Chains A and B, each alone.
Chain A
């Protein structure tokens, strides 16, 4: 009698309910929270959820505590934004819906490259090497402005080609559904992966590498495979972030970003598959909401730099000209920046002169891209101002290079005080 003719495969009702509920929640969420700011918040959450889930493939499933996971999502984001730019100029034909895949493949390739080095070791040494890799990539990103766009980053325009059934991906709601689609697909894929033999062996390697080795599996190889796959999903989240914000800067590959995803995944719980998703929701809410309640908002905002805002007002499109939650952050930083720069230097760029006419909050409302540009312009005059004081200049340069807004503003303040 052939084996396996009769199979007992009951329908896993609970699983269908959970995933059906998840899909339903994704569809309904923007109908319930329909204001512009909650839409951008939901989109941000979606990208962070994929990112946290991919991170948990390392920490939760394979026991690898990585301090440099943003490398893969960030590089994926850079490749995605370049794909967008090439597609809008007509050199490349990638529909926007598949741009996250570009990010994913980039993540996979860099996962193969860096993962080969990092997964040579496990435990604490792995963590330290992953930190080294993220610092390496971050430093490199400022070294090749052609690809990484220097401190200002690379910006793009996600609306290209002819609208397909009225879908142009201009309005935030369409981008939300794109993110939700990729979130669902990625989550299902990662869940399925956790139940493949590879996923199970990864658990074994996490719990007891020696025994896994005795059974005949090479732990290093298992870690390498898991890291590559995790980097793939991180790249997808990076691609979605690039679509969502239309700007990718060096901050996307920084250790700060890696730390944020580690915190999110850990807060949500690494033992349960859905834990990191919850962590991403809570984490994003905290990073965006807390600034409104406490003066120490920069403390929380440091994780996100500009992710709290949407880039708004491009060609005056009204549907996207909406200040995102947490805009006060840029506001304050901008004000500090502005005030300091006003004292520190005489010459101004056009954009800054523009800013002069409006009040500072208007600059903030114009969004991240302008803000970064603003900082970049300011940096020039401020370098002039600081040249007199070499030590201070060196310190400031370091800080500007690390490019988080508060550091820049703090630095400008310090410089204006001394110059």
Chain B
């Protein structure tokens, strides 16, 4: 019970962090058709900006400034890089962002070095939030969840209740019409790209100190958020939300469970000998398999539901 509750909370906070990343990616994808390969690099950039700013001014200013800086960087890249590549098609755009991810990773290494930087949790949030039975739930995890939920609500309000949100929604499906009505669609694109990057940056600022701020962090989380986006259905925000929570839960629960196929087999009275060629496969525990579960999920979803959990159309 205790384990389940704590894992549930941890999975929830990890899933929400994944959603902070995948929401920006999904928004950018559904609007511009560009799958931003460098999205996780902006997450890393956010974490490093957050670290650098918190060294000078403390964590709270960093929480505001670092995402803005990341968003600005994203907007500039869209304006002066991606827009020029746009006319060559989606594959070229994907290649462009792929190259960009290398460049950002290398720049980060040149500036901050290859080792992890000591990006600390602010002292106000260092400590337990509450205790469940004997296990303490860290306050910072609670803070992460709070920020993520606030962000979800803010996006939802922005997209459905404001004028700019209306324009964005319209530009998703009918860019020509929106342009004909006198809106500057390229600028809207730039804003969405910058906004998406800023969301990734925000996730970086609060995720960087919860986990580790290092040059490999983009690669660690990058492939997972692509899985989230494909599993949820390309371009579906709701799907991304669902898939983020699902993968967050799966990973959190799986790493803590050491179940293997030997258990059920022993119950029905079969005890395979260690010499059996498949013994290694049977003795794999769930915690050992945890790293591949998201990718297995991806493959299964593609076979049985190719448009993703909540995707509307097939490409």
CB pair B299–A143 under 8 Å, yes or no, is no
CB pair B223–A255 under 8 Å, yes or no, is yes
CB pair A406–B114 under 8 Å, yes or no, is yes
Report how far A120 CA is from B308 CA in the complex, Å: 13
- The minimal Cβ–Cβ distance linking B240 to chain A, given in whole angstroms, is 13
CB pair B295–A146 under 8 Å, yes or no, is no
- The minimal Cβ–Cβ distance linking B266 to chain A, given in whole angstroms, is 22
Asked if B61 is an interface residue, CB under 8 A from chain A, the answer is no
CB pair B302–A120 under 8 Å, yes or no, is yes
Q: Chain B interface: which size bin?
A: 35 or more
Of B102, B212, B289, the contact of A395 (CB 8 Å cutoff) = B212
Closest partner residue, chain A, to B279 (CB atom) = A146
Within 8 A of B (CB), among A380-413: 391-392, 394-395, 398-399, 402, 406-407, 410-411, 413
Query: Which residues does chain A contribute within 8 Å of B102, judged by CB atoms?
Result: 259
Asked if A132 is an interface residue, CB under 8 A from chain B, the answer is yes
- The minimal Cβ–Cβ distance linking A304 to chain B, given in whole angstroms, is 14
Query: Which residues does chain A contribute within 8 Å of B211, judged by CB atoms?
Result: 391, 395
Closest partner residue, chain A, to B223 (CB atom) = A135
Report how far A86 CA is from B230 CA in the complex, Å: 41
Asked if A202 is an interface residue, CB under 8 A from chain B, the answer is no
Query: Which residues does chain B contribute within 8 Å of A285, judged by CB atoms?
Result: none
Query: Which residues does chain B contribute within 8 Å of A398, judged by CB atoms?
Result: 216, 220
Query: Which residues does chain A contribute within 8 Å of B113, judged by CB atoms?
Result: 410
Report how far A120 CA is from B284 CA in the complex, Å: 30
CB pair B216–A414 under 8 Å, yes or no, is no
Asked if A320 is an interface residue, CB under 8 A from chain B, the answer is no
Of A122, A124, A392, the contact of B35 (CB 8 Å cutoff) = A124
Q: Chain A interface: which size bin?
A: 35 or more
Asked if B163 is an interface residue, CB under 8 A from chain A, the answer is no
Report how far A133 CA is from B237 CA in the complex, Å: 24
Q: State the majority secondary structure of interface residues on A.
A: helix
Query: Which residues does chain B contribute within 8 Å of A23, judged by CB atoms?
Result: none
Asked if A175 is an interface residue, CB under 8 A from chain B, the answer is no
Asked if A299 is an interface residue, CB under 8 A from chain B, the answer is yes
CB pair A124–B94 under 8 Å, yes or no, is yes
- The minimal Cβ–Cβ distance linking A411 to chain B, given in whole angstroms, is 7
Asked if A131 is an interface residue, CB under 8 A from chain B, the answer is yes
Asked if A136 is an interface residue, CB under 8 A from chain B, the answer is yes
CB pair A298–B114 under 8 Å, yes or no, is yes
Report how far A128 CA is from B214 CA in the complex, Å: 24
Known: A139-B295, A296-B110, A299-B109. A391 touches B212 (CB 8 A): yes
Q: List 26 A-B contacts (CB under 8 A).
A: A63-B91, A121-B302, A121-B314, A123-B91, A125-B230, A129-B298, A129-B299, A131-B223, A132-B227, A132-B230, A135-B223, A135-B292, A140-B292, A143-B284, A144-B280, A255-B219, A255-B223, A259-B98, A266-B95, A394-B212, A398-B216, A410-B113, A410-B115, A413-B115, A414-B115, A414-B116
Give B residues with C-beta under 8 Å from A: 29, 33, 35, 90-91, 94-95, 98-99, 102, 106, 109-110, 113-116, 211-212, 214, 216, 219-220, 223, 226-227, 229-230, 234, 280, 284, 288-289, 291-292, 294-296, 298-299, 302-303, 306, 314-315
A124-B94, A129-B298, A402-B219 known, 16 other contacts, Cβ within 8 Å: A117-B299, A120-B303, A121-B306, A121-B314, A121-B315, A124-B315, A125-B234, A127-B35, A128-B230, A131-B223, A135-B223, A135-B295, A136-B298, A136-B299, A259-B98, A407-B114
